[in-house]
Amino acid sequence: MGPITAVYQTTLKTPISCTGIGLHSGEKAVMIMHPAEAGTGIVFERTDLSNGARHFPARFDLVADTFLCTTLRNASGATLSTVEHVMAALAGCGVDNVLIEVSGPELPIMDGSSEAFVFLIECAGIEALEAPRRFVRVLREVQVRDGDKTATLSPSANRSFRCEIVYDNEKIARQSAALDLDDDAFKSDVSRARTFGLMEEIDGLRSQGLALGGSLDNAIVVDGDRVLNEGGLRYDNEFARHKVLDAIGDLALAGAPILGSFNGYCSGHGLNNKLLTALFENDDAWCWETQHTAPDLLAATA
């Protein structure tokens, strides 16, 4: 099931849940996705916190940390980590409104990709709502830079993503991947691409309290020219495809689908977030757009 390309807002038909562990915290995490009314957007809720501290709207301006994952911080100072893979699945499947309950400070990593979340969305089903969908249209090119690393949004009729990465590792080396979200290809071409890391970095990360839940079950581990995971890679360029997945999830924090073309060169969560900030700081670089189509579309997608 690809994204509903209709211009009506969508939600899930029924609640659905999963259980896993947090990649960095190593803590058990229970996640429940609930249908939500039009205009709600994507909202996370930590059920282990009091009512005044539990809500986390999925917004780029609430991103507090981007080291190895995307972390939100709400007005109370509470945080919620590793939201990008769930956000990518929702964007890739065309879901606009959902309330996501999480039992702790980090979302479950599952297998390190968005595949499990796409499966949950498919099982729950997608429902069109009687409200128009708003888009963010890119009007002129916006670019942010960190040394030779860049992230760029350009005007385009399509919602396209392209990422190129360069690693000082013979297995990863230089590779690129691209996806057009309007081609219903997210599930087959990107959703199964897993997060990855280098074997020589693991001890250092764990000494910082990171990657405590990481294993070969939820991340690709590269040691020199070898992939240590049984079965190897799912795609020849799985590393670059995962960067596309991350970019889709990070840019979904814009609060609406972006009509434009994303291009990342060695970009990550930090540059992706800075790109959204730069876009919305420039009023001449974007505009809201609401599209309309035939009135029988709701019946066709119900």
Q: Hey, which residues are catalytic here? A: 269
- Name the phi and psi angles at 163, rounded to 5: -130, 140
Give me Rg for the CA atoms of the chain.
18
C-alpha span between 245 and 118 (Å, rounded)? 12
Longest dimension (CA), the chain: 57
Q: How far is CA 19 from CA 13, 83, 128, 152, in A?
A: 20, 15, 27, 35
134-138 vs 258-259, strand pairing mode: parallel
| Cα 245 versus chain centre, distance | 6
Report the candidate in 282, 211, 241, 163 with the shortest Cα–Cα distance to residue 26. 211
Token pair for residue 202? Answer: 């693991």
C-alpha span between 117 and 115 (Å, rounded)? 5
C-alpha span between 243 and 196 (Å, rounded)? 10
C-alpha span between 88 and 117 (Å, rounded)? 9
Q: How many helices (H) and strands (E) does the chain have?
A: 7, 21
C-alpha span between 112 and 183 (Å, rounded)? 24
3-state secondary structure of 107: coil
C-alpha span between 32 and 20 (Å, rounded)? 12
Residue type, 201: E
